[in-house]
Structure 1
Amino acid sequence: MSNKQPAAYINLEIYEDSINLLGVAKVQLPAIAFPCVNISGAGMMGEMEVPLYGMVSNMTTTINWLTPHGDAVKLMSPKKHQLDMRVAEEFWDVEQADVGLWADKYVMIVRPKTTTPGTVAPMASADTSGEYVVYYFAAYKNGEQLWEVDKRNMRCVILGVDYMAEVRKALGK
């Protein structure tokens, strides 16, 4: 067990193309789900669900904005957008009885799926949201890659192991 235990996210900033700072938002990161098939036959007790090796189901992310302003509208453009979320995460160092900070980063390549302008009401934010299809999703903690899922290039890398490498090799790639 590590002596450094996560405490909370302090703040984040979202950039498009690693340059353009986007507005105030809250991001629901995509779930990474492995599709399964059911198998059955002689020598088995009933059927069994088997996750397909290295394959990843559709991924979506949701970004919640305060109002339908420039950045929320810009990401409605029906094209590819590369988003970088830079996150300051506080951790508790159990051994030193002190706190520290990790620099986290999430990178996604997305295309817009839906935009919900939200609600107009006095003294309230609009709760604008956008849902985006995710083709690429990578996560880093203090510069170390935790995972990379690249659906278009058949890559599913988790803690440095590319689980699709043998599949690509079998296909002659």
Structure 2
Amino acid sequence: MPQPQIPQRLTDYAVWRNGIQFLGTADVTLPNLTALSDTFSGAGIQGEIDSPSIGQYGSLVVAMTWRTLEAAAFDVHAPVVQSLDFRGNIQSLNRINGTQDQQGIRVSVRGLPKGLDLGRLAQNSTMDSSNEIEVHYIKVVIDGFIVLEHDKLNNIHKINGIDYRAQVRKNLGL
């Protein structure tokens, strides 16, 4: 049976710091979750297999581009752990009744500032200043359901409620 919703677009969003400081809007590039892997071969394997390590990722970076040089960019660049929430609204078309339904999305990250690009000065144009954060924690919540929670420092990797690192923590006595 087809899903009742046809997702259309992110209609609006806002950037928050520490859950209380409204930073406005910035174009946000979310991290690319690329698993660490190692290639192995040998008897019983026809060639090579590049095997990912479950729940272990390379560098996770969030980039935010501001229209102008904002005071918020300097707040986010302070050399302390940054806690950011990207709260948005997804519009979907309901197949059953034809309505346009709204769904909340929140991406929460914690990490350390990696860079601040002050942007450019050009008459009558955006400055495109930007921040980069090295992420060590990310959680994605869609319509109230946690679809991803990844914590590099506490050995947690949950997808759709299943913790794929629970056995590893148990094996390590954590």
Coarse TM-score class (shorter-chain normalised): over 0.9
1:106 matched residue in structure 2: 107
Cα-to-partner distance string for 1:109-129 (whole Å, 9 max, x where unaligned): 021111111110100110111
TM-score normalised per structure 1: 0.96
Map 1:13-52; keep pairs closer than 5 Å. Answer: 13-52=14-53
Map 1:130-145; keep pairs closer than 5 Å. Answer: 130-145=131-146
Distance 1:120 1:144 in 2: 42
Q: Quick one: which amino acid aligns to residue 59 of structure 1?
A: L
Distance 2:78 2:52 in 1: 35
TM-score normalised per structure 2: 0.96
Count of paired positions = 173
1:70 matched residue in structure 2: 71
Distance 2:148 2:123 in 1: 43
Map 1:123-162; keep pairs closer than 5 Å. Answer: 123-162=124-163
Aligned partner of residue 72 in structure 2, secondary structure: helix
- Which stretches in structure 2 are left out of the alignment for 5+ residues? none
1:12 matched residue in structure 2: 13
1:92 matched residue in structure 2: 93
Aligned partner of residue 31 in structure 1, secondary structure: coil
Cα-to-partner distance string for 1:81-139 (whole Å, 9 max, x where unaligned): 10011101101111111110001111000211111111101001101111110011111
- Residues 13, 25 of structure 2: 8 Å contact kept: no
Aligned partner of residue 153 in structure 2, secondary structure: helix
Q: Quick one: which amino acid aligns to residue 159 of structure 1?
A: N
Cα-to-partner distance string for 1:31-71 (whole Å, 9 max, x where unaligned): 11111111111122222111112222220010000122200
2:119 matched residue in structure 1: 118
Distance 2:117 2:73 in 1: 10
Query: Does 2:44 align with 1:55?
Result: no
CA RMSD of aligned residues (A): 1.0
Aligned partner of residue 24 in structure 2, secondary structure: coil
Q: Quick one: which amino acid aligns to residue 87 of structure 1?
A: G
